[in-house]
Amino acid sequence: MSMNRREAIKGLSLGLAQISGLGLSVNAYALFQERDGDPIIPAQYRALISQIADTLLPEVDGKGALAQKVDVFLVNLFEQCYEEDKQALLINQLSHLDERAKKDFQKSFGMCSQEQRETLLIAFEQSDDDSEKEFFEIIKKETIKGFETSQVILEQHYGYQVAPGFFKGSVDITNK
Amino acid sequence: MNIQTSKSDRTYDAIVIGSGITGGWAAKEFADKGINTLVLERGRDVEHQKDYPTASKPPWELEYRGAVSAKRKAEYSYVGKFARAENVHFRLKDGEQPIVTEKPFRWVRGYHVGGKSLLWARKTQRWSEFDFEGPARDGYAVDWPIRYKDLEPWYDHVEKFIGVVGNRDNLDILPDSIVQPAFELSHIEKHFQSEIMRQYKDRHVISSRMAHLTDPQQIHKDQGRYRCMHQKMCNRGCVFGGYFSSNASTLPWAAKTGNMTLRPHSVVHSIIYDEQKGKATGVRVIDANTHEMIEYYARVIFLNASTFNSNAILLNSTSARFPNGLGNDSGVLGKYVAWHNTRARVTGWHKGFKDKKTLGKTPGGTYIPRFRNVHKQDTDFLRGYSVTIHSSRDLEADKNVIGSELTENILNPHLGDWEIRMLMTGETIPIEENHVRLHEEKTDKYGIPQIVFSCDWQENDMKQLADFHQQCGEMLDKAGFADFKATDSGRPPGSDVHEMGGVRMGRSEKTSILNEWNQVHQCKNVFVTDGSCMTSTGTQNPSLTFMALTARAANYAVEEMKRQNL
Ligand SMILES: Cc1cc2nc3c(=O)[nH]c(=O)nc-3n(C[C@H](O)[C@H](O)[C@H](O)COP(=O)(O)OP(=O)(O)OC[C@H]3O[C@@H](n4cnc5c(N)ncnc54)[C@H](O)[C@@H]3O)c2cc1C
């Protein structure tokens, strides 16, 4: 486990150096914190996670990834539930995504338009690079999960009830 | 508890080892009859309602929406992907009881007060005469020393108390239970039912019989239980007591009589055999917290630690008289272990009935009792399988896009096709080679020998599996399903969670360990009434039969105590 972490973190130095070009203050130490301590995912990456979630599920009729606080769920999930090698993959690819944005559109991901952001994410989805692909799959899967398990979506769009108290096996569909 | 207590303070009329589905029943029967009973449970206490931390919580109220933190997950590596926040606290922690798997085996355990009664899927079917007669008719294992009529009144007794939902289906292969109103079938299940019953003479599609309450009677209200609220979160513990668990039912009932003492954190090491008296006098317990050994004494001992633990405790109970384990002159202890083959699944999709959907949630489903080799041998394999069926018509959304289209799709889901999932429960044949034994050197953290598992599939299991795939495919086809997929999980024995045998019942002490009352032939005041007593495995979910055997044996033990025979 600790080997993994050390190796994974070694691989981060490049990404860090480049992301510092964003003009955000990088606290390299933040990456080295143990789980229960300070955040594993530093602030600028958290912002990036929010931006990606917002891109995948932008607000429609007042509902979307940010309105449902899916970004908060994602950060907690990645920090507390993901293994260290996957955390390193996520952080590497977040920084990589931002670099790609600067290369392709001469601005950070957060400054890109929705269309530009989608183009960037789709390039990851369709990439031949396994890490890029996996990064996209993880973040999309978990963003959808966070959205679909949120109260408003479950109750208003999926008829969710904790304790319905009944089951009807054969109901006529009237208006749908 | 102070272990300095005097011997008389540590002496009871009866000791019950284990507080799960069967131990709870032994405790209840003894307590009801005024027998001063000690229940020894290796795990922690789990109090009904109070100790169900995730009960009735919607997904958004679970930390990480049900995922388990990596730190916590590392403590449950054996449980693996089954470690979910909903009930990880009822799963086995690594290091608690390491095992040796000579051949692949997956052993699912629930070590806490209530045992696996908090994890089970609550399916309850009676055995029929076809099951009890199986070994004698088909020439495997040994003949059961009992028949259906011996157990029938005890099925009644248990069912009235736990509450079973279902219909009176009037089938010889699956005798009726005493039932409360069944869970309704879904539209597709009703369709499947009518097509199969019309097109096959030998197949019955029924609503699953399950240990739930749909119409609680006074006896259930007296237990403090309410009707099932269709939460479908049963394996977290149910605050309504809508399904049967030891925690909601037998244990609090026994406690209320004042005749039961429950001692958690008590890992039973072995049974004490007294050479002079020619019987067992008590048990040795390792306190899980202090690791001290303590002895408890009783006139009667009930072994209900779950199949493999009961095997292990007997094997570890050695003495000059029984060097190979208590009551094991025959050498069959630990052998003829069997289970259920649940590897196969067939999923089918139907394009019709687009104008129908379901509402609410069902913990139930549909069931096809065994139809192979029932009245006569009609295949090239022994015995057969039952089919457990679940179905759904779920809300779906196209998620192959991103951006506002994705948000919109998820906000506006549409109903998909009807889907039906058919799961196999195949009877495996007990053979001598399939066994458990104690490792000669390796021990666990309590100094108790580790269990070695040596269990494997047989050719018969693979033939059944192929037949299941073929027959289910045919049934779906005949019922107009457009498409189906047959799979074999390839999972090792034990994954079925219906492990049985090793301490089997039989007519002769030369070939079995227990008699017709679940008494150890050679040590009459020790009774074993969990799944380890099973001579063969049937195709039913087994726990109802374990409970009926336990209640029957406990009442017999009480009579024998009164007659001063024990
Ligand atoms: C997911 C799942 C679904 C299931 N679904 C069904 C179903 O639908 N229908 C059905 O009939 N069965 C089902 N089962 C099986 C059912 O749970 C078991 O058959 C049943 O619980 C067995 O009862 P038991 O009393 O023998 O063991 P358990 O309920 O496991 O209880 C044994 C108790 O003994 C304790 N113990 C063990 N060793 C010792 C020791 N050395 N000293 C002291 N205490 C000890 C344990 O901690 C435990 O509390 C399912 C099981 C699982 C895991």
Q: Are strands A167-172 and B519-520 parallel, antiparallel or unpaired?
A: unpaired
Cα B500 to ligand 1 centre (Å): 11
B184 to A167: CB separation less than 8 angstroms, yes or no: yes
Whether the predicted pLDDT of A21 surpasses 50? no
Model confidence band, residue A31 (pLDDT cutoffs 50, 70, 90): very low
Average pLDDT, chain B: 97
Beta-sheet strands, E only, within B52-186: 100-101
Q: Are strands B500-502 and B266-274 parallel, antiparallel or unpaired?
A: unpaired
Mean pLDDT of A10-35: 36
pLDDT confidence of residue B263: 98
pLDDT in tens, A109-134: 999 999 999 999 999 999 999 999 99
pLDDT in tens, A136-146: 999 999 999 99
For ligand 1, residues with CB inside 6 Å are B 17-23, 40-43, 108, 110-111, 115-117, 119-123, 266-268, 304-306, 309, 313, 497-498, 530-531, 541-544, 546
Mean pLDDT of B345-353: 98
Total domains in chain B come to 1
A149 to B64: CB separation less than 8 angstroms, yes or no: no
Its sign, for the CA torsion B492, B371, B139, B313, is positive
pLDDT in tens, A52-65: 999 999 999 999 99
Contact A31, A79 (CB under 8 A): no
Question: Where in chain A are the domains?
Answer: 30-157
pLDDT in tens, B401-440: 999 999 999 999 999 999 999 999 999 999 999 999 999 9
Contact B247, B235 (CB under 8 A): no
Q: Is residue B540 part of a domain?
A: yes
Whether the predicted pLDDT of A33 surpasses 90? no
Q: Is residue B74 part of a domain?
A: no
Q: Residue B12 forms beta bridges with which residues?
A: B298
Q: Which of B58, B355, B407 sits opposite A58 (nearest CB)?
A: B407
Closest CA relative to residue B544, chosen from B161, B222, B251:
B161
Mean pLDDT of A34-44: 72
Mean pLDDT of B472-490: 97
**How many C-beta atoms lie closer than 10 Å to residue B287's C-beta?**
16
Mean pLDDT of B21-25: 98
CA–CA dist B510, B512 (Å, integer): 6
pLDDT confidence of residue B82: 86
B238: closest chain A residue by CA: A163
**What residues of B are in contact with residue A172 (Cβ under 8 Å)?**
355-356
Model confidence band, residue B81 (pLDDT cutoffs 50, 70, 90): confident
pLDDT confidence of residue A38: 65
Report which ligand 1 atom has the smallest distance to the Cα of B114.
Answer: 49
Model confidence band, residue B468 (pLDDT cutoffs 50, 70, 90): very high
Q: Is residue B448 part of a domain?
A: yes
| Residue indicated by tokens 């196999």 | B424
Q: Is residue B96 part of a domain?
A: no
State how far Cα B148 lies from the chain centre. 20
Q: What is the pTM of this model?
A: 0.94
Q: Could you write out the three-class secondary structure of A119-153?
A: HHHHHHHCCCCHHHHHHHHHHHHHHHHHHHCCHHH
pLDDT confidence of residue B3: 55
Model confidence band, residue A7 (pLDDT cutoffs 50, 70, 90): very low
B58 to A162: CB separation less than 8 angstroms, yes or no: yes
Range of the domain at B474: 11-46+112-562
Burial code (b: 16+ CB inside 10 Å, e: under 16) for A124-138 equals: beeeeeeebebbbeb
pLDDT confidence of residue B5: 82
Cα B165 to ligand 1 centre (Å): 21
Please tell me the least confidently modeled range out of B36-40, B83-87, B224-228. Answer: B83-87
Global ipTM: 0.93
A81 to B231: CB separation less than 8 angstroms, yes or no: no
pLDDT in tens, B281-337: 999 999 999 999 999 999 999 999 999 999 999 999 999 999 999 999 999 999 999
| Residue B382 belongs to domain with CATH number | 3.50.50.60
- H or E element in which residue B520 lies: strand B519-520
Cα B270 to ligand 1 centre (Å): 19
B230 to A164: CB separation less than 8 angstroms, yes or no: yes
